[in-house]
Structure 1
Amino acid sequence: SASIADVVVAGGAETMSMINMGGWRLVPNPDVAKTNPNWYLSMGLTSEMVAREYNLKREDLDEFSANSYAKAYNAIDKGYFKDQIVPYTVKENYVADGKIKTREKIFDVDECPRRGTTKAALARLRPAFAADGISTAGNSSQMSDGAAFVLVVSEKILKRHNLKPIARLVDYQVAGVDPYKMGVGPIKAIPKVLKHAGMKLDDMDLIELNEAFATQSMVVVKETGINPDILNVNGGAIALGHPLGCTGAKLTVQILNELKRRNKKYGMVTMCIGTGQGAAGIYEML
């Protein structure tokens, strides 16, 4: 509708397993570092800043995360992701008779979820980012590799090639927040996209939130009034993994498939973005 392009392939690929420990070393701008040191906080520390500002409790984060794991394995066991994941063959090493051998394996199930993860098990984990923090490896999103793509076309292209659309992108908006609490970006983006689309939060049948950390997820739910029953119904990034470079496309694929399975109409995808952004998009099934 913006008349910018007729055919867009949108998505990305992520290889977090190949990133150096600690991430890529960026040299801070000395002037900015003096005036705005919070701009250079790691994502984990921004999670801790959110936890402090909103007075979050560790036990609540662990409960939220255990629920994400439970929903993820329920979806895996019932085959809800089968139509979303493209199977491919990989080679893996294993040890047999004291020797390292190689075999082929069909990769078609997310490997991040840990079956049987409970609130009690999560409570035993140490803080990951600050000695006195409450964000851990268990209530934060996992490092993972992945890729996802979607095809967006104009109505003209639909008619020319006789394509059957899955859904319509109703609206999309972005917003900004202070970088030190980048995780709460959706709090600004969600009302913005709803207002621009002339809709209400109650119009949404399902919502996918990137779930970077349990901290930011819980704050977004509380501050926006999202119904937890329609949020990340098949688990979120805490359980499934968070391949950053394909977040938007991955969540779009997930919500469109689940809307179809449930025969529902409207869904929202929303996410926080490092350095202080929030994004939200609304889809209508056709």
Structure 2
Amino acid sequence: MAAFYAGFPETVPIRTINRQCSSGLQAVADVAASIKAGFYNIGIGAGLESMTVDQIGGVRQVNPRVESCAEARDCLLPMGITSENVAEHYGVTRQEQDQAAVVSHKRAAAATASGKFKDEIIPVITKIVDPKTGEEKPVTIFVDDGIRPNTNMTDLAKLKPAFKKDGTTTAGNSSQVSDGAGAVLLMKRSLAMQKGLPILGVFRSFCAVGVGPAVNGIGPVFAIPAAVKSAGLELDDIDLFEINEAFASQFVYCCKKLELDPEKVNVNGGAMALGHPLGATGSYNCLSYRKLTTCLKITYRRTTFVVSSKTPPTFMHVAC
């Protein structure tokens, strides 16, 4: 339905994949692999999510046999609890998490103000309803509305833990409930040159790994080095890293464990500021696509090696 609504004819084949928060990157990787295999010459990897429509709390049924397997049972843990597990198991403090949130918002605000996202965002025309009068009025959304430029340590320290009474994960150091969509166009280099299209980047490698579902956010620690090695590079060769900020706890831990230069990571902010529309976050920096488009725009301005990673629920993680 979405393809038809977007104007694609019935002759264009489509398919839907599900790797939860990694779906966006997986779609791009699938298109890249198919082009490399010669199945087709051009394709679009896209993702979208409307979390305001499909909200948490829906009724779900789980096979009772899941309870007999500890690892399977851990896959049902709320993501906020897995964030607390990471913070507790790997010693990530509340102060470190809040500081990461401050940096994310500051960088996203600066990138927005300087117009760095202008070419990534397609304005959306919609309507808003005045809660007091009930009056509808049309609006055009052309910037991310979750960015809080004035975010500071003092205000964040006042927030109560969101998932555990004595926890450290709060609404301020977590990603936001967001709507978003993104897409990446891929094709053979020869076809791009034939059509006179600018080449923004080259898809070099992709890797998916698994980790314990109770601490699922640590996946980038394993996925990033594997993807980098597959590309014939070392971590020191990478100019920019995009690591999804599902929660500050896992983001901080991954950066520390990989010993990454903070000035190379999420240079235009991350999901704590821009939002995390799950299936879209790669393209949206909340989308598995926003991350890629952000990387591609930076890459186009200069020769750069970029790594993007995603941390979905359960235990699968990807990087490219």
TM-score, with normalisation over the residues of structure 2?
A: 0.82
The one of 128, 134, 140 aligned to 2:174: 140
Is the 2:228–2:307 Cα contact (8 Å) retained in structure 1? no
Provide TM-score, normalisation by structure 1.
0.92
The partner residue of 1:44 within 80, 83, 97 is 80
In structure 2, how many angstroms separate the alpha carbons of the residues matched to 1:235 and 1:194?
A: 22
Task: Give the C-alpha shift of residue 259 in structure 1.
Answer: 2.8
Structure-to-structure mapping, 1:72-87, within 5 angstroms: 72-87=108-123
Please identify which structure carries the higher strand content: 1
Q: Distance in 1 between matches of 2:80 and 2:40?
A: 37
Q: Please, what is the CA RMSD of the aligned residues?
A: 1.6
* CA-to-aligned-CA distance 1:87-110 (integer Å, 9 cap, x gap): 122222236xx7332222221010
Shift of 1:156: 4.8
Q: Which residue of 2 aligns with 1:284?
A: none
In the TM superposition, what is the alpha-carbon distance from 1:276 to its structure 2 partner? Answer: 0.7
Q: Point out where structure 2 has 5 or more consecutive residues left out of the alignment.
A: 1-35, 282-287
Alignment partner of 1:256 out of 296, 311, 314: 296
Q: Residue by residue, what CA displacement relative to the aligned partner does 1:190-238 show, whole Å, maximum 9, x if unpaired?
A: 1111111110111111111111000000111011122111100111000
Identify the range of structure 1 (135-144 vs 82-91) with the bigger mean alpha-carbon deviation: 82-91
Residue type at the aligned position of 1:29: N
SS of the residue aligned with 1:92? strand
Give the corresponding residue for 2:257: 223
Counterparts of 2:171 and 2:142 in 1: how far apart (Å)? Answer: 24
What residue is the counterpart of 1:13 in the other structure? 48
Are 1:27 and 2:67 counterparts?
Answer: no
Partner letter of residue 62 of structure 1?
Answer: D
Is residue 157 of structure 2 the alignment partner of residue 117 of structure 1? no
> What is the distance in 2 between the residues matched to 1:54 and 1:31?
31
Q: CA deviation at 1:159?
A: 4.9
Which residue in 2 is equivalent to 1:88? Answer: 124
Question: For the structure 1 residues 154 and 119, does the alpha-carbon distance in structure 2 shift closer, same or farther, using more than 3 Å as the test?
Answer: same
Does structure 1 retain, via aligned residues, the 8 Å contact 2:200–2:297? no
Q: State the alpha-carbon separation in 2 of the partners of residues 182 and 249 from structure 1.
A: 21
- Determine the C-alpha separation between the residues in 2 that align with 1:106 and 1:143: 20
Matched to 2:119, the amino acid is: D
2:186 aligned to which of 152, 176, 189: 152
Q: Give the C-alpha shift of residue 160 in structure 1.
A: 5.0
Q: Deviations over 1:131-185 (max 9, x none)?
A: 1111010000000000000111123533554433221101111111011111011
Give the match for residue 183 of structure 1.
Answer: 217
- Counterpart of 1:192 (choices 222, 226, 239) is 226
2:253 match: secondary structure: helix
CA distance in 2, matches of 1:249, 1:21: 23
**Distance in 2 between the 1:150 and 1:136 partners?**
32
The percentage of aligned residue pairs carrying the same residue is 36
Moved over 4 A (4+): none
Q: How many residues align?
A: 277
User: Is the 1:143–1:241 contact (alpha carbons within 8 Å) kept by the matching residues of 2?
Assistant: yes
Aligned residue identity for 1:18: V
Shift of 1:268: 0.9
- 8 Å contact from structure 1 (residues 62, 122) kept in 2: yes
**Gaps in structure 1 of 5+ consecutive residues:** 282-286
Distance 1:123 1:4, change over 3 A: farther
**Paired letter, 2:102:** A
Which residue of structure 1 aligns with residue 6 of structure 2? none
Distance 1:231 1:2 in 2: 32
Contact kept in structure 1, 2:241 and 2:308, CA below 8 Å? yes
